[in-house]
């Protein structure tokens, strides 16, 4: 039976993550939103604190996903709970945390024990999207050709979160385009590798504290031992190995959306109450102030995204396949966060639209939660295929 209560042993972790969010992330949220591409050096101290939490059995970052060791655990649940608290503070700053990159989730999902040891403590970004390949990860055109003890990578990668700051980047590439998705593998490319060129940093709508990079790979020589997982191409398996990454990261993105949404709802409640609008849980919504009715509707939507996120994490911790639930959580949280934060801006009127409050920032930050790690439309396709028993060729 699924238990969606926060385990007692995780309450300390949640409290510590909340304190970090209150002490640094929230107070510096506006500062680093305005100072785009400026690295928040204060994060180094905070990252050291989070490393200590992870070593003690917890973790509050975005990328330290653990693989199940065979027994039920709370590793994924602790990560989503910590992520919710930190993104209540600031999502862009969380994504800027050293050693908390999404590439770390890829390494944790499919790396060998030797690779796990080699990249322990490293900050890994993840490069999937290409200029001509958006949501269809199976259409990747970046190639990887074996040359002795190395692979030669050629292609371009865009929208790489923490690409400039990370120690290495997990690059998705195909070993053989004619073999389709089955030939797609992931490679760890260390920063400074010849042929791995940073083209530019993007200016963005939201999560501006986090750098987003565009890379070009021009005959980039990567050691063969940096290929994550097995080099064999198995058409029957497809690219299930690299797709395991999404089963881990999509609940984390959903958790980020939950944190942002809770921040917006809490601030909106404060503003409504200060304006004399009472929110009464004992009366029907249609018998209350219109703003109170709207708030109650948003709050119920928030509860749904929160519980779906916990479910996806709980299933991963209990060794249950969670691909469908990960997409449920990602789709619901991404869409609801965007809608709720914009509605909060609307309810707050002129205060919500200006930089006087963080509401307008949260509405900008929320939008990316509905896009990266698989767009809303892709999540709906995945859900439809699984519920209807259709293949990707049958339901496009």
**Cα 134 to Cα 121: distance, rounded to the nearest angstrom:** 30
pLDDT tens digit sequence for 102-149: 888 888 888 899 999 999 989 999 999 999 887 777 789 999 999 999
Tell me if 311 sits within 8 A of 334, measured CB to CB: no
Is the pLDDT score of 252 beyond 50?
A: yes
- In the predicted structure, residue 174 carries a pLDDT above the cut 90: yes
SS3 175: coil
Q: How many degrees, rounded to 5, is the angle at CA 41 between CA 36 and CA 45?
A: 140
- Residue 237's pLDDT is 62
* pLDDT exceeds cutoff 80 at 79: yes
Contact 97, 47 (CB under 8 A): yes
Give the per-residue pLDDT at 57. 45
Provide the strand spans (E) within 65-191.
124-127, 143-147, 150-161, 168-174, 184-190
Q: How do beta strands 124-127 and 168-174 pair?
A: parallel
Is the model's pLDDT at 280 over the cut of 80? yes
In the predicted structure, residue 64 carries a pLDDT above the cut 70: no
Quote the Cα angle for 125-333-237, to 5°: 55
Structure-derived torsion over alpha carbons of residues 134, 135, 136, 141, reported in degrees to the nearest 10: 30
- Percent of the residues in the chain that have a pLDDT greater than 90, as a whole number: 73
Q: Tokens 């994060």 appear where?
A: 43
Report the C-alpha gap between 198 and 213 in whole angstroms: 7
pLDDT at 390 over 60: yes
Give me the chain's average pLDDT, please: 90
- Please say whether the beta carbons of 13 and 60 come within 8 A: yes
User: Residue 66: its pLDDT value, please?
Assistant: 46
Contact 211, 37 (CB under 8 A): yes
263 — pLDDT class (breaks 50, 70, 90): very high
Active site (catalytic) residues: 373
pLDDT band per the 50, 70, 90 thresholds, residue 60: very low
Q: Torsion over CA of 242, 244, 247 and 248, rounded to 10 degrees?
A: -90
How many angstroms separate the CA atoms of 211 and 204, rounded?
9
Which residues pair with residue 189 across a beta bridge? 169
151-173 residue pLDDT tens: 999 999 999 999 999 999 999 99
pLDDT value at 50 more than 70: no
CA distances from 331 to 150, 301, 305, 336 (A): 38, 13, 9, 8
Q: Judge whether residue 58 has pLDDT over 60.
A: no
Domains of the chain, first to last: 8-118 (1.10.540.10), 124-228 (2.40.110.10), 240-388 (1.20.140.10)
């Amino acid at each position: 039976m699924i238990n969606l209560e926060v385990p007692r042993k995780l309450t300390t972790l949640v409290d510590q993550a909340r304190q970090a969010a209150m002490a640094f992330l929230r107070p510096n949220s506006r500062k680093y939103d305005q100072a785009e591409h400026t690295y928040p050096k204060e994060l180094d101290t905070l990252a050291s604190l989070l490393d200590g939490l992870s070593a003690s059995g917890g973790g509050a970052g975005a990328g330290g996903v653990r693989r199940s060791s065979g027994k039920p655990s709370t590793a994924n649940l602790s990560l989503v709970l910590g992520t919710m608290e930190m993104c209540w503070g600031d999502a862009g700053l969380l994504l800027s945390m050293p050693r908390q990159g999404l590439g770390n989730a890829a390494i944790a999902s499919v790396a060998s024990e030797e690779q796990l040891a080699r990249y322990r403590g490293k900050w890994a970004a993840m490069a999937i999207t290409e200029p001509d390949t958006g949501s269809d990860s199976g259409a990747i055109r970046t190639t990887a050709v074996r040359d002795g003890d190395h692979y030669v990578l050629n292609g371009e990668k865009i929208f790489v979160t923490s690409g400039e700051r990370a120690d290495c980047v997990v690059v998705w590439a195909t070993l053989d385009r004619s073999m389709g998705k089955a030939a797609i593998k992931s490679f760890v490319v260390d920063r400074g590798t010849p042929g791995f060129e940073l083209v530019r940093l993007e200016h963005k709508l939201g999560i501006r504290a986090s750098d987003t990079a565009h890379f070009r790979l021009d005959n980039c020589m990567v050691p063969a031992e940096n290929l994550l997982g097995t080099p064999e191409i198995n058409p029957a398996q497809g690219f299930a190995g690299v797709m395991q990454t999404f089963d881990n990261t999509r609940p984390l993105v959903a958790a980020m959306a939950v944190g942002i949404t809770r921040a917006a709802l809490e601030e909106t409640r404060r503003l409504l109450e200060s304006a004399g609008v009472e929110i009464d849980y004992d009366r029907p919504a249609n018998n209350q102030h219109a703003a109170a009715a709207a708030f109650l509707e948003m709050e119920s939507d928030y509860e749904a995204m929160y519980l779906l996120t916990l479910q996806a994490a709980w299933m991963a911790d209990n060794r249950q396949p969670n691909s469908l639930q990960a997409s449920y959580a990602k789709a619901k949280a991404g869409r609801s966060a965007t809608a709720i934060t914009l509605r909060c801006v609307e309810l707050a009127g002129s205060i919500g639209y200006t930089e006087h409050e963080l509401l307008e920032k949260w509405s900008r930050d929320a939008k990316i939660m509905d896009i990266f790690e698989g767009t809303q439309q892709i999540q709906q396709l995945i859900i439809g295929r699984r519920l209807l028993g259709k293949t990707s060729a049958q339901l496009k």
